[in-house]
Amino acid sequence: MTDTVAQPSVADAKAAPDTMAWDSGLRRLMMIYLPLGCFVLILLFPFYWMAITSFKPNAELMNYKEHNPFWITSPTLAHIKHLLFNTAYPHWLWTTMLVAIGSTTLSLIASTLAAYAIERLRFRGSPYVGLGIYLAYLVPPSILFIPLATVVVQFGLFDSPMALILVYPTFLVPFCTWLLIGYFKSIPYELEECALVDGATRLQILRRITLPLAVPGLISAGIFSFTLSWNEFIYALAFIQSGANKTVPVAILTELVTGDVYQWGALMAGSLLGSLPVAIFYSLFVDYYVSSLTGAVKE
Amino acid sequence: MSVTTLSSPIMAHRQPNWLVRLFDYKPFLIVMCLAPALGLLGVFLTYPLGLGIWLAFTDTTIGRKGIFVGFENFQYLLTDPLWWNAVFYSVVYTGIATFGKFALGFWLALLLNNHFPFKSLLRAIILLPWIVPTVLSALAFWWIYDPQFSIISYLLVDVLHWRTSNVDFLGSPWPARFSLIAANIWRGIPFVAISLLAGLQTISPSLYEAAMLDGASAWQRFRYITFPMMMPILAIVMTFSIIFTFTDFQLVYAITRGGPGNSTHLLATLAFQRGIAGGELGEGAAIAVSMIPFLVFATLFSYFGLARRKWQQGESND
């Protein structure tokens, strides 16, 4: 995929020097490639360090004099094995997956219906409802987690993943609704009018016309919600107490960080494994991801 | 295509029962469509927001319903050096990190706006720090900032010989503060860069061509075309960035937990420490509520400060 994209830009780059006088080779190298290289190096280094640490035996990990820390001489799977068989890591992964999928589904349903009502059913005050939902996005979780903890306790959901599935939509729904309003706007209204004339009910229109055409928007909203709920931390930290029900980010920090000597190998292996699902998910849908990120900002 | 599949015979032959007609009644449909979203937001966002403000005026603790105590919590906070410390660090953290993110992110966006091979691959890679769970990358930073086995110390001491002793990243207040800010900037750059890149791509190349014909230098083109055209998007991205940096929790909680000696507490981590870990829900809520004025001020400042200039220039400039 990248090759096909790269071809035209190479051609463009060759055409560019004619139009831009300052674009000479060395200058271009110093002004563009060198800083870009530094950016990429710095942005990716922590991941490299995370990956290499999780495969290093403890002897190499703590001895920089005899082993070059930037490389592994005898890679080991011991940390990952320890994680998978001596801790509840698989269970944490499963809980996180469950919470992410549950809250994503819930938010997608709620925000699709809301976006359809706001953008297509057009009632008096619909722009204000849209604005209200948008403003909800500006309320940060750090302000809400204390009162929410008492609400969760009132509902008898404390220490249950169900609490997270219900609470995560508070930051997912505003985002998804806003994104989907944008997508619905791009679908020609005439299509719906035709169906109305043909006698379709509004729910049929939503199901058979609007939703199939908004699939790219739904995918964007879905992967965005999935990553956001996978990454969520403060609610999961405040509402879940027992070790087995924790999500991966919370569990690694509270269950694996023990005592004075940190098991860096296991910690980094846990971080790596916890990051992989979102990273893989992300790499499959990069284009949707970038378009939803930038689309939401542009709206 | 979908229209043709919905041909009229299917519709006409179905006898609409009362349920179908009810769901086709517009006011009812509107209510039904908005109910899930507004219900969720009402119960888990608006209600807790109000409850949080109420809790801030009570002396509630975990397991005991509190009574109304007026401004007592806030009066106590004003005399609490730890709260002032957290306010101070929250402002410093937000200020420096936002400046760093936007300076570097804008630079990266400008770099990415050039033509070069593998551009989309590069753009995908650059977003990685932003999509990976913050706590997990924060753990990587914690390991990078390790007092004994820090890779940065190794580079500076053993490879470059610039220093003779290891850097003490997290052991004393100011280095710890700046280490956290650096980690926050690292995480924030991709979001800023990719958002601003989207803005840069909407600027018409003809503006630059016209400016170059008039003999504008690269700096002048940036100052008088790129920067003003980017103002609206900068305002929005900056508003978001300030709000979520000021209320940041994960990074500090994962790396220092407010230490050493409470020097790196942000308001959010202090609220967690008092409210959830310490059980003083009322006081924790008061700390959380005390963030609101700062947030409103920062939002108004960044939004109107930046967006107004766009209004003043008006449409005629475009």
Report pTM: 0.85
Output A13 or A294, whichever has higher pLDDT.
Answer: A294
Alpha-carbon gap, residue B312 to B48, rounded angstroms: 39
Q: B 103-142 residues with CB below 8 A of A?
A: 104, 107-108, 111-112, 114-129, 131-137, 139-141
pLDDT at A195 over 90: no
Write out the H or E segment, with its range, that includes residue B7.
Answer: none
**Interface contact flag, B48 A44, Cβ < 8 Å:** no
Query: Which residues on chain B are in Cβ contact (under 8 Å) with A177?
Result: 37
DSSP assignment of A81-142, as one string? HHHHHHSSHHHHHHHHHHHHHHHHHHHHHHHHHHHHIIIII--TTHHHHHHHHHHHHTS-HH
Query: Which residues on chain B are in Cβ contact (under 8 Å) with A280?
Result: none
Q: How confident is the model at residue A297 (pLDDT cuts 50, 70, 90)?
A: low
**Cross-strand partners of B61:** B64
pLDDT at B70 over 50: yes
**Cross-strand partners of B271:** none
Predicted local confidence at residue B309, as pLDDT: 52
**Cross-strand partners of B58:** B68
Of A8-17, A189-198, B213-222, least confident by mean pLDDT is A8-17
Q: B 294-313 residues with CB below 8 A of A?
A: 295, 299
Of A69-73, A229-233, B104-108, B218-222, least confident by mean pLDDT is A69-73
**Interface contact flag, A290 B123, Cβ < 8 Å:** yes
Regarding an ipTM greater than 0.85, the answer is no
Residue among A43, A111, A138 whose CB faces B189 most closely: A43
Alpha-carbon gap, residue B246 to B93, rounded angstroms: 7
Per-position b or e across B96-128, b if 16+ CB within 10 A of its CB: bbbebbbebbbbbbbbbbbbbeebbebbbbbbb
Alpha-carbon gap, residue A169 to B41, rounded angstroms: 8
pLDDT at B66 over 50: yes
Q: How many CB atoms lie within 10 A of CB B9?
A: 9
**Interface contact flag, B272 A145, Cβ < 8 Å:** yes
Scanning every residue of chain B, which has its alpha carbon at the shortest distance from the alpha carbon of A49?
B140
Own/partner pairs, A86-94, CB within 8 angstroms, 24+ separation: A87/A255, A87/A256, A87/A266, A88/A243, A88/A244, A88/A251, A88/A255, A89/A248, A89/A251, A89/A270, A89/A273, A91/A244, A92/A246, A92/A247, A92/A248, A92/A251, A92/A252, A93/A248, A93/A273, A93/A274, A93/A277
Q: How many CB atoms lie within 10 A of CB B21?
A: 11
- Rounded to the nearest 5 degrees, what angle is found at the Cα of B78, between the Cα atoms of B75 and B82? 130
Scanning every residue of chain A, which has its alpha carbon at the shortest distance from the alpha carbon of B54?
A147
Helix orientation angle between A141-154 and B47-55, rounded to the nearest 10 degrees: 90
Output B196 or A258, whichever has higher pLDDT.
Answer: B196
Amino acid at site A138: L
- Rounded to the nearest 5 degrees, what angle is found at the Cα of B233, between the Cα atoms of B230 and B239? 130
Alpha-carbon gap, residue A201 to A178, rounded angstroms: 25
Q: At which residue do the structure tokens 């909800």 appear?
A: A136
Specify the CATH number of the domain B81-313: 1.10.3720.10
**B118 touches A6 (CB < 8 A):** yes
Pick from A38, A146, A158, A280 the residue to mutate for testing the B interface (most B CBs within 10 Å): A146
The percentage of residues in chain A with a pLDDT greater than 70, rounded to a whole number, is 89
**Interface contact flag, B115 A22, Cβ < 8 Å:** no
* pLDDT tens profile B169-181: 888 889 999 999 9
For the record, the structure tokens of B252 come out as 């500090």
First-to-final CA distance of chain A? 28
Query: Which residues on chain B are in Cβ contact (under 8 Å) with A167?
Result: 44
Nearest CA-CA distance, residue B272 and chain A, Å:
8
The percentage of residues in chain B with a pLDDT greater than 70, rounded to a whole number, is 91
For the record, the structure tokens of A69 come out as 């820390």
Q: B 62-91 residues with CB below 8 A of A?
A: none
Alpha-carbon gap, residue A119 to A75, rounded angstroms: 55
**B276 touches A146 (CB < 8 A):** yes
**A119 touches A181 (CB < 8 A):** yes
* pLDDT tens profile B15-53: 567 777 777 788 888 888 888 999 999 999 999 999 999
* pLDDT tens profile B141-174: 999 998 888 888 888 888 888 888 888 888 888 9
Q: Where are the domains of chain B?
A: 16-47, 81-313
DSSP assignment of A32-50, as one string? IIHHHHHHHHHHHHHHHHH
* pLDDT tens profile A80-111: 888 888 888 899 999 999 999 999 999 999 99
Nearest CA-CA distance, residue A168 and chain B, Å:
9
Scanning every residue of chain A, which has its alpha carbon at the shortest distance from the alpha carbon of B244?
A140
CA of B12: how far to CAs of A209, B22, B60, in Å?
A: 18, 18, 62
Q: How confident is the model at residue A290 (pLDDT cuts 50, 70, 90)?
A: confident
For the record, the structure tokens of B170 come out as 């997290």
Specify the CATH number of the domain A87-298: 1.10.3720.10
* pLDDT tens profile A253-271: 888 877 666 788 888 999 9
For the record, the structure tokens of A7 come out as 């071809």
